[in-house]
Structure 1
Amino acid sequence: MTVLGDRALNRAALARQLLLERSAMTPQEAVVHLCGLQAQEPQEPFTGLWARLSGFEAPALDTLLTGRSVVRTHLMRRTVHLVAADDVLAWRTRHDAMLRQKVLGVYRRELDGVDLGELASAARTLMADGQPRTMTGIAEALAERWPDRGRRALGEMVVALVPMVQMPPRGLWGVKAGVRNTPLTDWLGRDPDPPAPEGSDPVGETLVRRYLAAFGPAASADLRAWCGLAGLPKAVAAVRGELVAFRDERGRELLDLPGAPRPDPDTPAPVRFLPAFDNAILGYHDRSRIIDDAHRGLSVEGARVVLVDGRVGATWTVEAGAVSVTPLRPFTRGERGAVVEEGRSLASFLSDGAGDEARITGT
């Protein structure tokens, strides 16, 4: 079985993530291809798309949100993602059990004795008037029926039980707005797809294929780390005959789509500025293909990072239109120049052309 080294895996991941060269995809096509973008920080997906698409302009994503072609919702790993409407309708039911278990893992004691079916029904009745509500508002209303239960626990569980959308203006370019929830069914005009017949898992099989297209080659543990679903071994087994297999340098089996890009390991990788919590890093259990173990904590701390030669080589911040870069290792002269140039382009994008300053601080 062919062994793929870390550099080969890095270049494959960059190609799948549209980070080896900017793509001519539309923003809608990119959101679909990437299986959504992590979006708990509402402005970050704009930077994520800017880093990946040629000629990306922020209003294009605003139009998708207000036009209901993409939505902000809790899905993979129970984190807020920006997902294509068709995908969330197809995938949400498959994630239901995981979403509930994630909440119970934190709030089991506070929710002990609460009938989850009754809680979901009460929440749907509450929101039947069509008025968007904050999670706090939902929890306060439901606390009248369950007064001895923690309000945060009630609110978190309702969001898991009743598919919700975080409505615009939340997530629009340059807008600071609180979260207002409305049922997914009301926002998109139909219910999520029902569960598959027992013994079949067509959605799971789709998730395997789609994940590999955007993240492969990858191990089953990587797939699970991305979506948070435990019950995908049968789906992997069902599609295994369609796939090709490799091993990494640690001996793990990696699966992939046969025709997917696997560039030469020596392919040059341009500097790319990534937003906080970007799935190019978080979408794997083994993140060593893109970030050193010593810096792995940055991926869950909300740090914005810079890819230099395809790997996390710096962090970045922005203030008053200027992008500041803090290297995690010494840069060559050529790397410094490329980082500053890309940083200036990012500063111009983030400030709508009003600023283009980038500087490297630290070592």
Structure 2
Amino acid sequence: LAPVLAAAARRFDGYDAAAVVAAAERMLAERPHTFNELRPRLLEEFPGANDRALGYAVRMLTPLAVVPTGDRWSFPRDPAFAPPGIGLDPDPRPQALVERYLAAYGPATPADVQSWSGLGGLRPVMEAMELDRLAGPGGKELFDLPGAPRPGGDVPAPVRFLPDFDTLVLGHADRTRLLADAHKGLVTTKNLRVRAVVLVDGFAAGTWQIKRSGKKAKLLLSPFEAKLSRDAVAEEGLRMLAFAEPDAATHDLEVTA
């Protein structure tokens, strides 16, 4: 994905991105830094540069790992970063990335993989790979890993609660595979937030959020259609809520209008 990230970093000018990355790597090799600690040091080395441009270059072009903490879910408000101990492949090949995608989301079109990864020109790559080819809706050609399980449409899919910005929602050029066109505006907001959704039989049936008040945890479900009952999602919803809020004294689920 380095070409995609490099293209994103080029939105800023007036600085030497390679020099910024080298400086950041040198500083991070000393000890973990938060971005609030790293920013003034970079500004000392690159006076007059846009501080946002410096931060963007570090985030986009430097391999980073969040240092684990005791914070909830290990996400502190101001995380420290360190080198992950891995280097970039000098000769990256997209085939492995395609295989990983198809293992999770196949069958899929090249447009789906490109939408997910940001990479272009993947059709000839996928056509040259040893992949199963299938006829999809509307005559579209779909690709999948050889011998991958492909249950029929009559096989029931379990209820699943997906988090905000989940890749399953974002990982297709044609999102109607799980999200009806009529409901897109209820999931993706104008400020580009992608809400958490619940899947019923493999399709997005509503959005959800957790509300915590003291020791009480409640799962609020906003269905897209009135026919979705509480009973249809209660078992999986309460199981997920207990996982997300293990220290709550009570767990409840409420279906909102």
Q: TM-score, normalised by structure 1?
A: 0.63
Q: Given residue 239 of structure 2, which amino acid in structure 1 is its aligned partner?
A: S
Mind listing any 5+ residue stretches in structure 2 that lack a counterpart? none
Structure 2 residue aligned with 1:285:
173
CA deviation after TM superposition for structure 1 residue 194, in Å: 3.0
Q: Is the 8 A contact 2:161 2:237 kept in 1?
A: yes
2:105 corresponding residue in structure 1: 215
Deviations 1:25-56 (A, max 9, x none): xxxxxxxxxxxxxxxxxxxxxxxxxxxxxxxx
The verdict on how the C-alpha distance between 1:143 and 1:174 changes in structure 2, with shifts beyond 3 A counting, is closer
CA contact 1:340–1:360 (8 Å) conserved in 2? no
Distance 1:161 1:271 in 2: 38
Deviation at 1:296, TM superposition (A): 2.3
| 1:160 positional shift | 2.1
Is the 8 Å Cα contact of residues 340 and 359 (structure 1) preserved in structure 2? no
Instruction: State how many pairs are aligned.
Output: 248
CA distance in 1, matches of 2:74, 2:4: 33
Pairing 1:183-194 to 2, within 5 Å after superposition = 183-185=83-85, 191-194=86-89
The structural deviation recorded for 1:183 is: 1.5
Query: Is 1:96 matched up with 2:19?
Result: no
55, 66, 83: which one aligns with 1:166: 66
1:257 maps to what in 2? 145
Letter of the structure 2 residue corresponding to residue 98 of structure 1: V
CA contact (8 A) 2:161 2:198 kept: yes
- Runs (5+) with no aligned partner, structure 1: 1-94, 186-190
Aligned counterpart, 1:77? none
RMSD across aligned C-alpha pairs, in angstroms?
A: 2.2
Whole-angstrom distance in 2 between the partners of 1:156 and 1:314: 34
Alignment of 1:1-363 (within 5 A): 95-104=1-10, 107-108=11-12, 111-112=13-14, 114-129=15-30, 131-169=31-69, 173=73, 176-185=76-85, 191-196=86-91, 203-239=93-129, 242-297=130-185, 298-299=187-188, 300-320=192-212, 321-331=217-227, 335-352=229-246, 354-362=249-257
Q: Secondary structure at the match of 2:138?
A: coil
Instruction: Report the residue type matching 2:243 in the other structure.
Output: F
What percentage of residue pairs aligned between the two structures are identical?
36
Q: Cα offset for 1:313?
A: 0.8
Q: Is the 8 A contact 1:170 1:179 kept in 2?
A: no
Q: Is the contact between residue 136 and residue 155 of structure 1 (CA under 8 Å) also seen in structure 2?
A: no
Larger Rg, first or second structure (1 or 2): 2
**1 CA distance for matches of 2:173 and 2:149?**
21
How far has the Cα of 1:172 moved from its partner?
Answer: 5.0
Higher relative contact order (CA 8 A, sep 6+): 1
Q: Compared with structure 1, are the counterparts of its residues 149 and 251 closer, same or farther at alpha carbon in structure 2 (3 Å cutoff)?
A: farther
Alpha-carbon displacement from aligned partner over 1:275-308 (angstroms, at most 9, x marks no partner): 1111111111111100112322414523111112
